[in-house]
Structures are given as C-alpha cells and as structure tokens.
C-alpha cells in the first residue's frame, strides 16, 4: 500500500489526497471556495452505509491547508465510528472552514457555506463544532435543511455540549469503575484540560460528586470564572501531562496522547471529550495499555452531542436523548471488559464493533 512506503512529506507531494495517511476510503471530499466572502472549506464524507454523513463544522485558523485537510479527514472518519458504535443510523462526515472565526466569520460566509452543504443533497448534514455557535447553524438553516444543532427557537435541539459532557461523565464513571472497582468520583483528582462548552459542564458534574477538579486552559478569564463557580483548582504547574492524578480529561483539542506525553502520564484513567485524543491509535493505544492506563475511547464517550443532534432528524425528545446518552456507561464498561478478555486495546475493541455493524448493513444493502 502506498502509505507504507512513502514518508509523510513525500505523501504530501506525490499523493495529495488518496495517499494521505488520514485518508481511509473516504467516499467523497469536497473543496469549497468563494472569493467574495473569503470562504475556504473542505467537507469530508467518510462513509454513508448506515445513513447520511453527519458531523460538525470546525472553523479554525489552520497553519496550512494540509493541516486542514488532515483534520477534516481524521474527524470525518471518527464520526463514522462514533455513529456506528452508538447505534445511530448515520454515516460519518465533517467539515472544516479555514480561518480565524473571530476575524473572518460573517453571516454571508456562513450562508455561502450552507449553500455548498445543500449541493450535496442530504448526503452530508452539518452541525456546530469548535469555532461555531448555534446562531451560525441558524444562518445555515436559512439556505438548507441539511443542518442540525440549530436553536430551540428555530425548532432544533439546541446546544449539544451539555449532552456531550453528560456522556463523557458517564464514560468517565464507567472507566473509573473498571480501574478502581467502583464508579465514585468523590475524592478523585481529575485534570480537566479545556474548560469550554463541554469542559465546564464536565467540571460541574464532577464537582457535584465531590471530585477534586483541577482545571487548565489557555484562557485566563475562563479559568477564573469556572474556578469560582465550582471551587475547582487552577493548574499553575509547568507540565500538565506529568501531573499525578487519577483521571485526565482532555477537553480541548486532539492528539494530546502522543510520543511526547505518553511517557509522562501518571494517571490511571483517560476520559475526555476531545476528538482523536490518540495521535496514532495503532501506537498510542497499545502503549497506554502497556502502562496500565485505562482509556475510554473518545468517539464512544463523546457521542452525547451526536445523539442530541440526531434527535432533530429522527424527532425524538429529551427523555430519549438522556437515556441513550446514559447508555454510554454500559457500552464503555462492556468494551473495557471485552478488551481485557481479548487482550486488545479498548479503542480497537470499539472500532471492531463499529466496523461489524457497518459490514452487516453493507451486506444487507447488496
Ligand atoms: P470549546 O471551543 O468551547 O472549548 C475548548 C476549550 O479549550 C477553550 O476554553 C479553549 O480556550 C481551550 N483550549 C484550547 N487550546 C488549549 C490548550 N492547548 N490547553 C488548554 N486549553 C485549551 O470546545 P468544546 O465544544 O467544549 O469542545 C471541546 C472538545 O470536545 C473539542 O475537541 C471538540 O471537538 C470535542 N467535542 C465537542 C462536542 C460538543 O458537543 N461540543 C462533541 C464531541 C466532541
């Protein structure tokens, strides 16, 4: 296979799309540009066997277009696994818009983006992700029905982040039970990295259970605010990854479990909201297992948000959203037990269950 013989740099030059390491049989990748509004976006449709591809739009000031492409490919693939393991009839997709949302995001740009989404005719449904607000999805809704995460006032299920946090909390408790024999978070030292929409709610839930929550963020104002609200300690050390604690909850950006950090980690459990926490699932998953660190797969425990937005398509209500999200506890515990029995990583175990579900559906469709 081409990806095994070329270095990453060679790949960039010689096999720019199909040869990218993050390219994993994606069905379709759409590049969208509009000079008038400054829009540059990429929509990745990874897999639509279980249903239309659903995944949020991330707006970020990427260092290069390569980084943006790599991000959308990794994220859209992750969405396929997330929907499949959660039992939803959805495929995996994601979009990125290149640029600093504070500088270039305008209603005109979001409208133009919505029109591009519309051209896919329902193969891809968008939603909010980093750099997006519910109001942006409302703008997109003006030009296409293929959008979720719109405001309750406009008939949507509203901000998915509190539901995501609740699912992460459920996954964290299941992983704690697996690691410690009971799922109580009281007294546990929990490092929450990133206290944005999801992180803050996770801090609230953990603090309510009398956990010792330590928070880290690059935004000092948020740190002060969240610390005051929930009595959380602000991390002022040099290196969060080297901190001794029970649980590390990555709730900022992905790939924080990598070659640099893996040897420093002194926690018993990793359970957080960020997508793609393992820089390389084939390397860092087994290394965590070897170190005896229990890893709750991100795409499994951060599925609350997709459960919430899926409600807009399927038309189910609050109670069902809650019970489906609560079920993340059972699925996580099952997967951790299964991976132990089979001596494989929890990530690999969750991925194989998701792949089996897709394979069965594919067979039915033949
Ligand atoms: P957000 O943008 O509201 O919050 C991210 C927070 O991380 C911000 O406070 C930011 O200042 C902080 N941050 C950024 N870089 C940091 C760093 N290097 N160190 C410490 N803090 C840093 O995003 P969110 O909606 O809370 O999502 C958090 C993560 O969870 C993202 O990776 C997102 O993709 C993932 N996720 C979110 C949802 C959802 O429903 N919002 C669903 C699934 C996955």
Q: Does 196 lie in the same domain as 149?
A: no
- Look at residue 11 and tell me if it is in a domain: no
- Look at residue 85 and tell me if it is in a domain: no
**The pair of three-digit structure tokens given for residue 196, joined into one six-digit string:** 């944005």
- Look at residue 237 and tell me if it is in a domain: yes
- Mutating to test ligand 1, I would choose from 57, 165, 191, 251 the residue with most ligand atoms within 8 A of its C-beta, which is 251
Binding residues: 194-199
Nearest protein CA to atom 15 of ligand 1, as residue: 252
Q: Does 330 lie in the same domain as 258?
A: yes
- Look at residue 304 and tell me if it is in a domain: yes
Q: Does 191 lie in the same domain as 129?
A: no
CB–CB of 79/54 below 8 Å?
A: yes
State the angle between helix axes of 328-342 and 346-365 in degrees (0 to 180), rounded to the nearest 10: 110
How many Å apart are CA 325 and CA 328, to the nearest integer?
A: 6
Q: Cβ of 270: how many Cβ atoms within 10 Å?
A: 24
Indicate which atom in ligand 1 lies nearest the CA of residue 302.
43
Domain containing residue 246: CATH number:
3.40.50.720
Helix (H, G, I), strand (E, B) or coil at 81: helix
Q: Sign of torsion, CA 253 349 52 89? A: negative
Q: Sign of torsion, CA 244 291 74 308? A: negative
CB–CB of 277/300 below 8 Å?
A: no
Domain containing residue 120: CATH number:
3.40.50.10860
Residue 12 confidence (pLDDT): 56
Question: Could you tell me where the beta strands, DSSP code E, fall in the chain?
Answer: 28-34, 39-47, 53-54, 57-60, 91-98, 124-125, 189-193, 212-216, 233-234, 247-250, 269-270, 294-295
Residue 13 confidence (pLDDT): 55
Q: Does 215 lie in the same domain as 114?
A: no
- Mutating to test ligand 1, I would choose from 136, 160, 197 the residue with most ligand atoms within 8 A of its C-beta, which is 197
Q: Does 334 lie in the same domain as 297?
A: yes
In DSSP terms, which residues pair with 60 in a beta bridge?
A: 98
Residue 159 confidence (pLDDT): 81
CB–CB of 265/293 below 8 Å?
A: yes
How many angstroms does the Cα of residue 251 sit away from the middle of ligand 1?
5
Task: For 226-275, write each residue's pLDDT tens digit.
Answer: 999 999 999 999 999 999 999 999 999 899 999 999 999 999 999 999 99
> Which whole-number Å values give the CA distances from 182 to 150, 152, 173, 177, 355, in the listed order?
38, 37, 8, 4, 30
Q: Cβ of 268: how many Cβ atoms within 10 Å?
A: 20
Q: Which residues contact 352 (CB under 8 A, 6 or more apart)?
A: none
Ligand 1 pocket at CB < 6 A:
129-130, 160-161, 164, 193-199, 216-219, 222, 251-253, 273-275, 302, 305
- Look at residue 15 and tell me if it is in a domain: no
- Look at residue 79 and tell me if it is in a domain: no
Indicate which atom in ligand 1 lies nearest the CA of residue 308.
40
- Look at residue 267 and tell me if it is in a domain: yes
How many Å apart are CA 261 and CA 265, to the nearest integer?
A: 6
Q: Does 191 lie in the same domain as 50?
A: no
Q: Does 40 lie in the same domain as 104?
A: yes
- Per-residue confidence in pLDDT tens, the chain, 366 aa: 233 344 555 455 567 678 777 788 899 999 999 999 999 999 999 999 999 999 999 999 999 998 999 899 999 999 999 999 999 999 999 999 999 999 999 999 999 999 999 999 999 999 999 899 999 999 999 999 999 989 989 988 878 899 999 999 999 999 999 999 999 999 999 999 999 999 999 999 999 999 999 999 999 999 999 999 999 999 999 999 999 999 999 999 899 999 999 999 999 999 999 999 999 999 999 999 999 999 999 999 999 999 998 988 888 888 999 999 999 999 999 999 999 999 999 999 999 999 999 999 999 998
Q: Sign of torsion, CA 120 122 128 129? A: negative
How many domains would you assign to the chain?
A: 2
Active site residues: 94
Binding residues for NAD(+): 194-199
- Look at residue 80 and tell me if it is in a domain: no
| Range(s) of the domain holding residue 60 | 25-74+91-154
Residue 99 confidence (pLDDT): 98
Spell 243-255 as b/e; 16+ CB within 10 A means b: bebbbbbbbbbbb
How many angstroms does the Cα of residue 168 sit away from the middle of ligand 1?
13
Residue 209 confidence (pLDDT): 97
Nearest protein CA to atom 31 of ligand 1, as residue: 274
């Amino acid at each position: 296979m081409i990806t095994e013989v070329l270095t990453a740099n060679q790949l960039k030059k010689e096999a720019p799309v199909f040869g990218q390491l993050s390219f994993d049989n994606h069905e379709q990748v759409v590049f969208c540009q509009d000079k008038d509004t400054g829009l540059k976006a990429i929509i990745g449709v990874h897999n639509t066997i279980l249903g239309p591809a659903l995944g949020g739009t991330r707006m970020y000031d990427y260092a290069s277009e390569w980084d943006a492409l790599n991000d959308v490919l990794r994220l859209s693939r992750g969405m396929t696994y997330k929907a499949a393991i959660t039992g939803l009839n959805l495929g995996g997709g994601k979009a990125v818009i290149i640029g600093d949302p504070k500088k270039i995001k305008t209603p005109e740009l979001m409208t133009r983006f919505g029109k591009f989404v519309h051209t896919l005719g329902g193969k891809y449904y968008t939603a909010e992700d980093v750099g997006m607000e519910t109001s942006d999805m409302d703008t997109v809704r003006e030009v296409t029905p293929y959008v979720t995460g719109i405001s309750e006032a406009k008939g949507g299920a509203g901000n998915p982040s509190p539901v995501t946090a609740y699912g992460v909390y459920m996954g964290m408790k299941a992983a704690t039970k697996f690691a410690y024999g009971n799922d109580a978070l009281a007294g546990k030292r929990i490092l929450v990295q990133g206290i944005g929409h999801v992180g803050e709610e996770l801090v609230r839930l953990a603090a309510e259970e009398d956990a010792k929550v330590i928070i880290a963020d690059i935004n000092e104002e948020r740190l002060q605010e969240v610390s005051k609200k929930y009595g959380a300690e602000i991390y002022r050390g040099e290196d969060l990854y080297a901190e001794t604690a029970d649980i590390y909850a990555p709730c900022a950006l992905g790939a924080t479990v990598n070659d640099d950090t893996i040897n420093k980690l002194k926690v018993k459990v990793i359970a957080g909201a960020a997508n793609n926490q393992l820089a390389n699932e084939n390397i860092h998953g087994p290394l965590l297992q070897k170190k005896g660190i229990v890893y709750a797969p991100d795409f499994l425990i951060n599925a609350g948000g997709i459960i919430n937005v899926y409600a807009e398509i399927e038309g189910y209500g609050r109670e069902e959203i809650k019970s489906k999200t609560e079920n993340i506890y059972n699925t996580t515990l099952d997967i951790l037990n299964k991976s132990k029995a089979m001596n494989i990583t929890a990530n690999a175990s969750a991925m194989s269950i998701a792949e089996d579900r897709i394979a069965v559906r594919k067979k039915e469709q033949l």
